Amino acid sequence: MSAEAKKQTWFSGLGTALRDAVLITAACSVMGLLVNLFHPEKIPYIAEEEYETLVPCPEPGGEVTPLEATDPSIHAEDTFIVDARRKPEHQVWKLRDAMSIPYDYLEPIPDQTLKELIRRTQKTGARRVLVYGDGKDPDSGEQAGREISGKGIKNVFFVKGGAPALKGPEPGGGP
Amino acid sequence: MNWRGHSWLALAARLYLGWVFVYACLHKIAYPGMFALDIATYDILPLWVINLAAVTLPWVELFAGAMLIVGFRVRGASLAVAGMMVMFMVAIVIALDKGLGMACGCFASQTTEEDPISFLTVLRDSGWLFLAVYVAIFDRNAIGIDRLQKKRRNPHG
């Protein structure tokens, strides 16, 4: 074994290797740019418009349990009720003294509103939070419930079918 | 460091890594537009860089992979591969941190169901990074063109 070979450490010749890596990258990049000129599927070097990427957003919030509209716990004293529908709908009809937290698919629930919800649940001694929404697909009640649960509030439920299911069949043949 | 077995272990690693990189670049070279969309989906690079990366990166993959296979400038090629692996892993970790449910785009434009990113993807890339670093450090007398050139320069060595 030569003296030179004995002296080798793991970084011996690393400078040359790094230089080679940079040269490979540079040469291949130039080649890629040139090939693109004659490529049948060529693209502009600089994109002119934003790409429309369809990536599902992360699911908001945490776990939320569905309840049937006929479930007796809905009417229990220790259930705190949240109405996730829009304000005008809440003003027309609400379940008991439900707190109105209109759910917006684009905006998160304001921190101030969540603080108020926590304050009220503590004040009433509620053991569960029940959210009902418009009962559509997706249901604003379920979405709001997920967001509330994701903020750390435990025992969050939503009513399957939302307010229409709670109200029952409307006079005149409606659902 | 000078153990002869390193050359043979590194040869196996080189052939495997080289095949992975050559295979990975083929679809990207054929369809640069789809690869650009894959890059854009990560939502990391500014718009003006996306197409440039889509046009150039696959060629670096192709040549670095081919050089590993034929044993030419092996340490440089393996460092280029290691650099790309680090870049890909950072991108995947950022996407995972953002909670993006998206396809990797590593081999071809696949759907999220076919090739979703996960920490397993990062683990797989870590394995490839390890192989590339092993070759860069230990493959001092690479079997292939590098060794032939050495012999030609120093026939009695």
Q: Report the mean per-residue pLDDT for chain A.
A: 85
Residues A114 and A34 in one domain: no
Name the range with the highest mean pLDDT among A35-39, A50-54, A112-116, B149-153: A35-39
A contacts of B55 (beta carbons < 8 Å): 32-33, 35-36, 43, 45
- At residue B1, the pLDDT reads 62
Residues A16 and A69 in one domain: no
Whether chain A has a CB inside 8 Å of the CB on B31: the answer is yes
In a domain, A3, yes or no: yes
- Partner residue facing B59 (CB), from A23, A28, A45: A28
* pLDDT band (50, 70, 90) for residue B129: very high
- The string of pLDDT tens digits covering residues A51-67 is 877 655 555 578 899 99
Residues A69 and A8 in one domain: no
* C-alpha–C-alpha distance, residues A25 and B56, integer Å: 9
- At residue A118, the pLDDT reads 85
| Domain enclosing residue A38, as ranges | 1-54
Residues A83 and A37 in one domain: no
- CATH number of the domain at A87, please: 3.40.250.10
Q: What is the mean pLDDT of residues B69-85?
A: 95
Q: What is the mean pLDDT of residues A33-44?
A: 93
Please list the residues that pair with A128 across neighbouring strands. A79
In a mutagenesis test of the A interface, which of B35, B55, B87 is the best target, namely the one with the most A β-carbons within 10 Å?
A: B55
Domain termination residue (choose one: A54, A73, A95): A54
- At residue B62, the pLDDT reads 96
Q: Are A131 and A159 in contact (CB under 8 A)?
A: yes
* C-alpha–C-alpha distance, residues B38 and B43, integer Å: 9
Beta carbons of A58 and B58 less than 8 Å apart: no
In a domain, A60, yes or no: no
* pLDDT band (50, 70, 90) for residue B80: very high
B contacts of A3 (beta carbons < 8 Å): none
Q: How far A37 CA lies from chain B's nearest CA (Å)?
A: 10
The domain total for chain A is 2
Whether chain A has a CB inside 8 Å of the CB on B51: the answer is yes
Residues A117 and A144 in one domain: yes
- At residue A174, the pLDDT reads 40
Whether chain A has a CB inside 8 Å of the CB on B52: the answer is yes
Higher pLDDT, A82 or A4: A82
pLDDT of residue A166 exceeding 80, the answer is yes
From residue B114, alpha-carbon distances to A57, A59, B105, B107 in Å are 18, 20, 10, 11
Q: What is the complex's ipTM, to 2 decimals? A: 0.87
Residues A32 and A9 in one domain: yes
Q: What is the mean pLDDT of residues A130-155?
A: 90
A contacts of B75 (beta carbons < 8 Å): 13-14, 16-17, 20
A contacts of B47 (beta carbons < 8 Å): 46-47, 50-51
Residues A158 and A137 in one domain: yes
Number of H helices, E strands in chain A: 6, 5
The gap from C-alpha A56 to its chain's centroid, in whole angstroms, comes to 9
Residues A142 and A106 in one domain: yes
- Partner residue facing B56 (CB), from A8, A29, A42: A29
| Domain enclosing residue B37, as ranges | 5-153
Q: Classify residue A8 as exposed, middle or buried by CB count within 10 Å of its CB (0-12, 13-18, 19+).
A: middle
Q: How far B31 CA lies from chain A's nearest CA (Å)?
A: 6
- Partner residue facing A39 (CB), from B32, B47, B101: B32
In a domain, A12, yes or no: yes
Residues A43 and A118 in one domain: no
- At residue A175, the pLDDT reads 40
In a domain, A91, yes or no: yes
pLDDT of residue B26 exceeding 90, the answer is yes
* pLDDT band (50, 70, 90) for residue A173: very low
Residues A50 and A70 in one domain: no
**Strand segments (E) across B26-150:** none
Poorest-pLDDT segment among A81-95, B8-22, B107-121, B142-156: B107-121
What letter does residue A82 receive in the DSSP assignment? E
The domain total for chain B is 1
- At residue A112, the pLDDT reads 86
Name the range with the highest mean pLDDT among A73-77, A120-124, A126-130, B19-23: B19-23
Beta carbons of A58 and B99 less than 8 Å apart: yes
